[in-house]
Amino acid sequence: MKAKNDVLTGQKILIGLFSFLLVATLVIVAGVEMKKSISEAPEIEITAESKQCISCHDQKGIAPGVVEQWKMSKHAVQGIGCLECHSAQKDDWDAFTCPESDVLVARHPTPKDCAECHEQQVQEFAESKHAHQFWVLKNADRAIFEMPIATRHGCEQCHNIGNIWPDKSVGECDACHTKHSFSKAVARQPETCGECHMGPDHPHIEIYTESKHGNIFKAKGKDWDMNYSTADNQNIPIEAPVCTTCHMDGNETQPMTHNVSARLAWESQAPWSYRTVWNEEKLGSWEKKRERMEAICKSCHAPDFVEMYMLTADLVNLQYNEIRRFFVKWTKRLTEDGVIDRIQADGKFLSNPVLNGWDEEPEKLMYYAWHHEGRRFRSGALMMGADFTQWHGIWEMQEDMIELMKFAAEAGYKEAQVWVDTNDPTKFVPYAIYDVPGNAWGINTRANLTPYLYKKFPNYWEEVRKNVKAAFERGLLSEKQWRYWEKRYQNKEYYLGTKFNTDDVFDIYSKRNDIDLEAMRKQVVEFEPPAKMFYMPKGKRISGWKFNRSRTNGRH
């Protein structure tokens, strides 16, 4: 009986224990419940008028997508509804009365409306070259070549980013901050810049995609939150830069800016590469602008790398100028001698003198060597687009140069004929040369043993130094860059890698190369398929089929 009682007592205690365990659990449950009710954040809504717009647009199906996009915007969260941007006064240029109510609505919110809240950004944008309608200023008359209807959905669609509105505000914010979600992430997406910065004349998106930066973004970017703010000197939160990271976003040292010109040191899209003077009074000299860009680079890159990379790109720009000088010299000469004519009307030359026209071979060649190939050459060098610097750049410019000289030779210029006829390889560099010992990526001990100019001219570097020095003295390179160049020049055997002997390693590869060449020779070059060819130019019979003699005769 005692034992049985003990069991019962044990069970009672167990019941008690489980009861309190249950109570404890329920207390935790209550805790969860409490937390749930405390963390009630304010919900943000919009004014009654905006609500009216939204419900009507939804119901009538008038661009209801606009409302959906807006709902996802930060504006919606902040309680910024429709009329905050779309309100209009009676005589506003874009005012219309909503047909379903008596509300005056602005059809086109302009940067002026955005500036109500985003004043700094609008201001910065208006001071940037994005806002500059240079295409209207300089080349309006080329609309004779691409007639106006083509420019409507052509030129204008992109260049409207610098729209001057009837209310005198400048710019088109939604070119990047796509309405109506106005998402930062969309604005930062490289493809947004690439809507315009693409194609044969300025393949910036293609260059970016080719670059290491673009590659990392492609691989990992989908996991990045691109909605971050860089307003207050934060670290760059993404692993590789997108376009805006370098050209607009801030970092630890640089403030964020909507002035895309603030960090650009070259007018590398122009017919001649020249140092930027855009809005100098506010943005400072090109060196100041370059400093800003380098400050961004240095978030991730070592100072030495940045210095060398930029110097190399700068020298590419200077080199471009010299190549262009050659094109201009010959085109001018041909024009002056009346071999080719410029387009003109009413006693005025149509179009800018540097453009010259497009209807004759030398003009066309010069145009492409600037507007397409020359830009690719320079942009590729500035933004890590190796293939654009090389094959889509310098290679095609050089080919154009050959064509130009052939044209001049055919036109009877003796000098050109000499150029065409000579076998001297230096004929391909009939212009001043820039160079720098080595590259930013490391020391390549073999690459600098081969170039013809290095081998042929022992004073090569001394001559090049004269050009670089002159460029520095002309203000095209900074003093810091000049000193950096000098440092490399003084130690050029080191930077060129020629002081290191790696012949034994190289020999392995050159032997392999011999094997390769041998294989190619044996497999293909010396191979001749046995069957007779069907093509018989002399009209012989083959396998019962006869050539039509009269026709072949006619051809001859």
Partner 1 sequence: MTEKDKRPTSRREFFANLFMGGGVFVAAITFLRDVWMYLYPDLGRRRYTKYMVAKTRDIPLGKARRLLVGRVPLYVVHLEDGFRVYSGICTHLGCLVKWEEAKNRFYCPCHKGIFAPDGTVIGGPPPRPLDEYKVTIENDLVFITIEQRQGRWS
Partner 2 sequence: MRVKEWLLERFPIDYQKFVEINEKIFIKEPIPYHMKKWFYAMGATPLIIFAFQVLTGILLTFYYIPSPEMAYESVRHITEDVRFGFLIRGIHRWGSNLMVIALFLHMVRVIFTRAYRPPRELNWIIGVLLLLTTLTFAFTGYSLIYNQLSYWATTVGTNFFKAVPLVGNTVLNFLRGGENVNPNTLTRFFTIHIGLLPPVMTFLIFLHILVLRLHGVAEIEGHEGEGHYPFYPSHFYKVIIATLFLVTVMSALSVVFPPGIGEPATPDQTPIHIKPEWYFYPVYRILKLLPLSVGIYSLVAGLIILTFWPFIDELFKQKMPKVKMNYVFGTLFVGVILILTVWEAMVF
Binding site for partner 2 (CB under 8 A): 4, 7-8, 11-12, 14-15, 18-19, 21-22, 25-26, 28-30, 32-33, 36-37
Q: Please return the burial class of 87, using the count of CB atoms within 10 Å of its CB with bins 0-12, 13-18 and 19+.
A: middle
Q: Which does 503 bind (CB under 5 to 8 A by kind): partner 2, partner 1, none?
A: none
Binding segment (CB under 8 A) for partner 1, from list 75-83, 247-255, 314-322, 517-525: 75-83
Q: Any idea what DSSP says for residue 267?
A: E
Q: How far is the CB of 29 from partner 2 (least distance, A)?
A: 5
Evaluate whether 321 touches 272 at the Cβ level (below 8 Å). yes
Neighbouring CB atoms inside 10 A of 381's CB total 27
Closest approach, Cβ 11 to partner 2, in A, equals 4
- The C-alpha atoms of residue 185 and residue 292 are separated, in whole angstroms, by 23
For residues 223-282, which are near partner 1 according to CB under 8 A? none
Q: Is 84 in the site for partner 1 (CB under 8 A)?
A: yes
From 138, 108, 111, select the one nearest 126 (Cα to Cα). 111
CB of 11 to partner 1, least distance (A): 8
Contacts with 108 (C-beta within 8 Å, 6 or more apart), sequence order:
94, 165
In the bound complex, what is the minimum distance in angstroms from residue 26's beta carbon to partner 2? Answer: 6
Closest CA to 352 of 150, 140, 143, 132: 140
Q: Count Cβ neighbours within 10 Å for each residue of 132-158 and write b for 16 or more, e otherwise.
A: beebeeeeeebeeeeeeeebeeebeee
d(CA 389, CA 204): 12
Examine residue 116 and tell whether it contacts partner 1 (CB under 8 A).
yes
Cβ contacts of 279 within 8 Å, gap of 6 or more = 127, 259, 261
Chosen residue from 7, 29, 144, 470 binding partner 1 by CB under 8 A: 29
Give the closest residue to 465 by CA, choosing from 490, 439, 445, 440. Answer: 490
**C-beta closer to partner 1: residue 67 or 464:** 67
Q: Based on CB atoms, which residue is closest to partner 1, 105 or 384? A: 105
The residue count for binding partner 1 (CB under 8 A) is 34
CA distance 267 to 276: 6
Residue 12 sits in the site that holds partner 1 (CB under 8 A): yes
349 three-class SS: strand
Q: Are 436 and 488 in contact (CB under 8 A)?
A: yes
Q: Which residues contact 331 (CB under 8 A, 6 or more apart)?
A: 340, 356, 362, 363, 366, 404
By the rule CB under 8 A, 543 interacts with partner 1: no
Q: Which of 3, 39, 40, 533 binds partner 1 (CB under 8 A)?
A: 40
CB of residue 15 to partner 1, shortest distance in Å: 5
Q: Work out which of 7, 15, 447, 520 binds partner 1, going by CB under 8 A.
A: 15
Q: How far is the CB of 65 from partner 2 (least distance, A)?
A: 19
Beta carbon of residue 519, minimum distance to partner 2 (angstroms, whole number) = 49
**What is residue 415's DSSP assignment?**
H
| CB 29, min distance to partner 1, A | 7
- From the list partner 2, partner 1, none, which binds 32 (C-beta under 5 to 8 Å, kind-based)? partner 2
CB of 13 to partner 1, least distance (A): 6
Residue choice 31, 64, 65, 79 for contact with partner 1 (CB under 8 A): 79
User: 456-488 burial, b for 16+ CB within 10 Å, e for fewer?
Assistant: eeeeebeebeebbeebbeeebbbeebbebbeeb
Residue keyed to tokens 């005589």:
91
**Binder to partner 1 among 7, 28, 30, 140 (CB under 8 A)?**
30
Nearer to partner 1, 23 or 63 (CB): 23
Q: Is 447 in the site for partner 1 (CB under 8 A)?
A: no
Cβ pair 368, 393 in contact under 8 A: no
- The nearest distance, CB 239 to partner 2, in angstroms, is 30
Q: Which stretch binds partner 1 (CB under 8 A): 6-14, 211-219, 370-378, 464-472?
A: 6-14
7 binds, among partner 1, partner 2, none (CB under 5 to 8 A by kind): partner 2
55 touches partner 1 (CB under 8 A)? no
Stretch of 13-21, 98-106, 205-213, 345-353 contacting partner 1, by CB under 8 A = 13-21
Q: Using CB under 8 A, which of 3, 35, 39, 42 touches partner 1?
A: 42
Binding mask 288-317 for partner 1 (x = CB under 8 A): ------------------------------
Q: Report the residue count for the chain.
A: 556
Give the C-alpha separation, 202 to 381, whole Å.
Answer: 13
Contact positions toward partner 1, by CB under 8 A? Answer: 5, 9, 12-13, 15-20, 22-23, 26-27, 29-30, 37, 40-49, 78-81, 84, 116-117
